[in-house]
Structure 1
Amino acid sequence: MRYLYSLLLLCSIVLWSSCRNDFETEPSTGNLQFSRDTVYLDTVFSNIGSSTYNLKVYNRSDDDITIPTIQLAGGESSNYRLNVDGLPGKSFENIDILAKDSIFVFIETTANIENFSNENQFLLTDAIEFDTGANQQKVELVTLIQDAVFLYPEKFDDGTTESLSFGFDEEGNEILIEGFFLDETELTFTNEKPYVIYGYAAVPGNRTLNIEAGARVHFHEASGIIVAQDGSLHVNGMLSNDQETLENEVIFESDRLEPDFSEIPGQWGAIWLTAGSTNNLINYATIKNATVGILTESNDGTSNPTLTINNSKIYNSSNAGLLARTGHVKGNNLVIGSAGQSSLSLSLGGQYNFTNCTFANYWTGSYRSLPTVLVQNYLETPEQIFVSDLIEANFNNCIIYGNENRELVLNERSEADFNARFENCLIRYNDFGFGSQGYDFDDETLFPGTIINVIPNFYNPQENEFMIDEESGANNLANPSTATNQDILGTPRGSSPDSGAYESIIFPEED
C-alpha cells in the first residue's frame, strides 16, 4: 500500500508539472537596460567585414518578459547583421528574458562605400529597435567606412592564386608565396587613400616603389612587401607637426583598424628586401605589428648601403624588428622597440652603421631568450654553419636596453672577421659572473665613452614610448662630433647632445 501511495504521489507531481508553463512571461514595458546606448563599430575598410561587437540587454524586473520584436531600423536592406541570443538575422520576434537576467546581441557590418558616396569616408549609421510604439527603445549603431586602394594576387579559374616563386627546396619542390608583382601604374603610393595589400606585393627588378609622405599602408594576414633583385623601395615620409596624427609619416600596419588590434604583434608578414635589392631608402616611417619589421638579405655589391633608414620606428614585431643577414644598413635616429626575439638581429656578417638610435626591448608576450641587440658573423642551420666577415658594426651614441639582464650579445667565429664598436652608448649588461660571456666595457678601442646599467628613464617603455628625461643616463652622453644634427622629432641636438633617438625633455605631469 505504501508503494501505491508513493506511485500516486509521483504521478500527481508529473501531471502537475506537465500542466505548468515554466516560461509564462509578461510583455515588455519599455524598461529594458543596455550595456551601452550606442555601439561604435570603429573604422572598417570598404567591403571588409568588421569585428563582432556585443550589446548586453538586461531585464532588471522581477518578471519574466517577452520582447515582441527586435529589429534593425534599416530593415532587411541594412548593412548591419545581428545575432540575438544565438539566432542570426535582421529581425526577431518574441524574445524572452527571464527575471533579473540578460541576453547578448552581437553586431557586425560590411559595406561598400561606392553605394553611399564618392568621398573617401562615409559614416554608416543604423539602430536596433526593441519593441514598437510607446514601449520602443533604441540602441544606435555607428561605423566609419573608409575607402582604400586594394592590391591583391589574381584568383584563377582552377581555384589557385597568383604566387611568387623563390626557387626550389632540397627535395625539388618549388617554393611559392602567395603574391604578385606591382605594375607600372601601382609603383607610387599616394596619401589620397589608404592601401590594403593581400599577399606579398613585389617590386620588380629595375623599378622603384615610391611611397609619398602621409601614406598609410595596411597588410592583411601573411602579407607584406617584397623588393626583388635590382628593385628599390623609397619611403618618403617627412616630419609631422602633430605627433598624435603623424600626418606626414608613412605608417605600415595591419588592416585591422579596431583599437583592440592597434598593438597586437605579428598581424602581417614583413618588408622584405631580398638579395640584390638596392638603394632602399626609408624616412619618417612607423612599422608596427609585423612578424619581422624589415628583413634585409645580402648587400647589393656597391659601396652604398642597401638600406638607409632615418627617423623611423619599428615595434611590436613578433619575431624581430630589423633582421639583417650579410646586410649593409645605415640607420640614424632609428627606434626599434619590443620584439618577440631581438629588436635588432645582425647575422652572417655584413656592414652596419647606426647613429643616435634607440634599441629597447620590453617584450612581455612570451619568454624571450635573445637580447635586444644580437651581432654575429655566422648563421647556424640544422645542416651546417655559414660564416661571413662582419666588416663593421658601428654603434655611435645609441641606447641598447630592455627588461632582461644582458641586452647585447656578440657572437664571433674565428673563421671570419668580426669588427664591432660601441661609442658613447648606454647599454644594459649584467653578467653576474656565472660563466657567461663577458665584455670589457673599459676597453677604449671597442667601447669608447660607453656606460652600462644606468637607467635610461624612458617615458613609457611598455607602450614603446622611448623619450628620455633630463635624469636619463643617456643625457649629454653623445659625442658632438658624430651626433645627428637633430633628433627624431626635429629637436636640435645642441653642443651637449644625448645618446639615443630622442633629446631629453621634461615629461608632462600625470593627471
Structure 2
Amino acid sequence: MRYLYGLAILCCLVLWSSCRNDFETVASTGNLEFSKDTVYLDTIFTNIGSSTYNLKVYNRSDEDINIPTLRLAQGEASNYRLNVDGMPGKVFENIQVLAKDSIFIFIETTFDINNLPTDPKNFLYTDQLLFDSGGNEQKVELVTLIKDAVFLFPEKYADGTTETLNLGQDENGEDILVKGFFLEDDELTFTNEKPYVIYGYAAVPGNKTLTVEAGARVHFHDGSGIIVAQNASMKSLGLPSLDREEMENEVIFEGDRLEPAFADVPGQWLTIWLTSGSVDNEFNYTTIKNSTVGILMEDCPVTLKNVQIYNSTNVGLLSRTGSIDGENMVINNSGQSSLAIQLGGSYEFRHCTFANYWTNGFRSFPAVSLDNSLETSTEILVFDLIKADFKNCIIYGNERRELSLFQVTGGAFNFNFENCLLRFEDPTGEFDNDPLYDFNNSALYTATKFNLDPVFQNTEMNNFNIETGTSGAENIGKPGVLPLTDLNGTSRSNPPDAGAYETTVFPED
C-alpha cells in the first residue's frame, strides 16, 4: 500500500511540474549570441514578398534567460515581418530562452517602392532587430535591396475572374484557356531602364512585334511566359558585353525570385512560345534560364545567335516543324532533351554546344533528339525532316548516348553531322544494324569525332568553355564555317574548334 502511496505522490509531483508556467529565469544581460549579425534578405521586386530567412538566437549560459523585449526598431510601422518561436508579430515581450538552448526567428518583407518620396530604381531598405533595451540592448541588422520594375499582368474583373487567352480547342472541342493578356502598343518595347515582371502569359498580337532591347531583364512569375501569335514577331536584340559575368548588354529571361538560392532552379516559369505562323523571330545575345521549356516553337522560323538556354525542367529548345538558323548556341541542364526536334522541319546549327548534365533526377532522353513524327492520342503525325545540318558542333553529356534519331516511314529524314564531336557509346552493339547510326557513312557523319572528352570548364555552373591542349573538340572544326568569332568574341583558329567556344587556358584552382 505504501508503494501505491509513494507512486501517487510521484505522479502529483510530475503533473505539478509539467503545469508550471512560472519558470525561474534571469534577465538578459546582453550576452545572447546570434547565428549572424546581419540578415541579408537579398534582392526582391517591389510588392513581391521575399523568401523566409531565419536567425538563430543562442543562450550559451547555464541559466534560463528572459528577454524583456524583442522588437523591430521601426515597430509596427516596419515592412519586415517576424515569427518568433511560432508567434507572429513585430514587437514581443518576455521571450524565454532555456539554458544551453536557442530559439528561431523567421523574417520576411514586402515593400512598395512607390511609397517613397523620390523615384529610385533601387532602394536599400533596412531595419534592426532589438533585443532588450538600455545597456543590455543587442542588435541584429536587417538589409534588403528593393528593385523597381514594370509589372505586366492580366486584368482582374469585378466578378473575381481573371483575363484569359483562348488558345483554340482541344481534341474534345473544349476551349483551351490560359491566364494571360495581349500586350498593348505602348508595351511592345522592353527597355533596359527597369526590369519587367510578367504574370500569366503576355501575348504579342498578330501583325505586331515585341522588341526586347539590349540589356533588358525580363522576369516571369510562376506559371507565366510569352506567346507570339500568328503573324506576330519577337526580337530579342542583345549585344556583346564587356563583362561576361555581369552580361550588361545581354537580354536575360528568368524567374522573378532574385535570391541566390533560386539562381539555377529549373521550372520557375513556363516558356517563350513561338506559335504557328509567327514570323521573323530573332534572338541574339540572349540567355534563357530556369523555365519549363526555354523556347517552344511550332511551324515558324527563328534565328538564334549567341543564345544560351539553361536549367529547363523539360526541354531547352523544342521545335515542331520549325525552321532554325542557329550559331554560337549553348544549351544545357534539361530534364529531357536540350534540343528536341519533332515533326520534321529545316535546321542548320553552326558552332553550337548541345550538352546535358542534368543531375536533378533520372533522365531518359538524350541531349539531342531528331524525330519526323509526333504521336497523339488518335494518330501518328509525320512531316518531312527537310534538313538538320550540324556543323562544328558538340553534342555531349553525362549519359552514354546523347543522340537519338527516330524516323517514321512516309516522311523524309535528312541530317548531317559535319566536323562535330558526339557522345554515343554502344558497347553491346545495339545500334550496329541501324543505318541511321552508321558512323562510317560520310553522307551522314562527315569528319565527325566520337566520345572524346571535350573537357568543359564547369558543367555544374553552365560554363562550357573548353581547355587548350586537352579538349577533344580542339582543332576538329571545318575552316570557314560562320561565325568567325566564338561566344566570347574570340577569333576562331584555323582549323577552328568545335562548339560555341574556342579553347582557352583554364585558371588554376
Do both proteins adopt the same fold according to a TM-score greater than 0.5, normalized to the shorter chain? yes
Looking at structure 2, the residues matched to 199 and 365 of structure 1 have their Cα atoms a distance apart, in angstroms, of 26
* 3-state SS, counterpart of residue 55 of structure 1: strand
Instruction: State yes or no: 1:33 paired with 2:28.
Output: no
| Alignment match, 2:59 | 59
Quote the Cα distance in structure 2 between the aligned partners of 1:283 and 1:15. Answer: 73
Cα distance change on mapping 1:93 and 1:420 into 2, 3 Å: same
**1:301-342 deviation digits (Å, cap 9, x = unpaired):** xxxxx1000011001000000000000011000101110000
Question: Are 1:427 and 2:422 matched, yes or no?
Answer: yes
CA separation in 2, counterparts of 1:485 and 1:380? 40
* 1:104 aligned onto 2:99: no
Instruction: Say if 1:150 and 1:195, in contact at 8 Å, map to a contact too.
Output: yes
User: Using the alignment, how far apart are the partners of 1:160 and 1:5 within structure 2?
Assistant: 69
CA distance in 1, matches of 2:52, 2:19: 41
For the 8 Å contact 1:361–1:372, the answer to whether it is kept is yes
Paired AA for residue 365 in structure 1: N
* Residues 1:441 and 1:137: Cα distance change in structure 2 (over 3 Å): same
- Paired residue for 2:220? 219
Letter in 1 for 2:307: S
Matched, 1:492 2:491: yes
Letter in 1 for 2:478: N
The residue type paired with residue 69 of structure 2 is T
Matches of 2:17 and 2:392 in 1, distance apart? 82
- Write the distance in 2 (CA, Å) between the matches of 1:86 and 1:506: 53
Mapping of 1:75-94 within 5 angstroms?
75-94=75-94
Shift of 1:9: 4.3
TM alignment of 1:64-463, pairs within 5 A: 64-116=64-116, 117-299=118-300, 306-436=301-431, 438=434, 439-463=437-461
TM-score normalized by the length of structure 1: 0.96
Residue 337 of structure 1: SS of its match in structure 2?
A: strand
Query: Aligned pairs, how many?
Result: 504
1:487/1:503 contact within 8 Å kept: yes
Q: 1:10 to 1:140 in 2, by over 3 A?
A: closer
> Residues 204-241 of structure 1: CA distance to partner in whole angstroms, max 9, x if unpaired?
11110001000000000010110000000011100000
Deviation at 1:494, TM superposition (A): 3.1
Indicate conservation of the 8 Å contact 1:483/1:497, yes or no.
Answer: no
- 1:171 CA drift (Å): 2.5
* Change in 2 beyond 3 A, CA 1:445/1:30: same
Q: Which amino acid aligns with 1:482?
A: V
Range 473-482 or range 211-220, more displaced: 473-482
User: Are residues 1:481 and 2:476 paired?
Assistant: no
Q: 1:127 to 1:287 in 2, by over 3 A?
A: same
Aligned counterparts of 1:436 and 1:142: Cα–Cα separation in 2: 59
Structure 2, unmatched stretches of 5+, are none
State the shift of 1:203 in Å: 0.5
Whichever residue aligns with residue 472 of structure 2, its letter is G
SS of equivalent residue, structure 2 residue 478: coil
Paired with 1:15 and 1:461, the residues of 2 have a C-alpha distance of 60
One-letter code aligned to 2:356? N
Q: For the Cα contact (< 8 Å) 1:50–1:109, is it kept in 2? A: yes
Alignment check: 8 A CA contact 1:397 1:483 kept: no
Give the superposition deviation at 1:82: 0.6
Question: Any conservation in 2 of the 1:205–1:231 contact (CA below 8 Å)?
Answer: yes
Q: Over aligned residues, Cα RMSD in angstroms?
A: 1.6
Cα–Cα, structure 1 residues 391 and 68, in superposed 2: closer, same or farther, change >3 Å? same
Q: Deviations over 1:124-172 (max 9, x none)?
A: 0000000000000000000000000000000011111101101122323
Change (3 A) 1:326 1:9: closer
CA contact (8 A) 1:210 1:233 kept: yes
Letter in 2 for 1:157: A
SS in 2 for 1:310: strand
Q: Which residue is 1:303 aligned to?
A: none
TM-score (norm 2): 0.96
Question: Does 2:504 correspond to 1:505?
Answer: yes
Displacement of 1:16 in angstroms is 7.1
Given the superposition, is the C-alpha separation of residues 424 and 96 from structure 1 closer, same or farther in structure 2, using an over 3 Å criterion?
Answer: same
For 2:401, give the aligned amino acid. Answer: R
Q: In structure 2, how many angstroms separate the alpha carbons of the residues matched to 1:8 and 1:347?
A: 78
What is aligned with 1:302? Answer: none
Instruction: Kindly provide the amino acid, as one letter, of the partner of residue 452 in structure 2.
Output: V
Give the distance between the partners of 2:411 and 2:17, measured in 1 at CA: 87
Question: Which residue type is aligned with residue 245 of structure 1?
Answer: E
Q: CA deviation at 1:8?
A: 7.0
For residue 363 of structure 1, report the CA deviation from its aligned partner.
Answer: 0.2
Offset at 1:13?
Answer: 3.9
In the alignment, structure 1 segments of 5+ residues that lack a partner are 300-305
What is the percent sequence identity of the aligned residues?
62
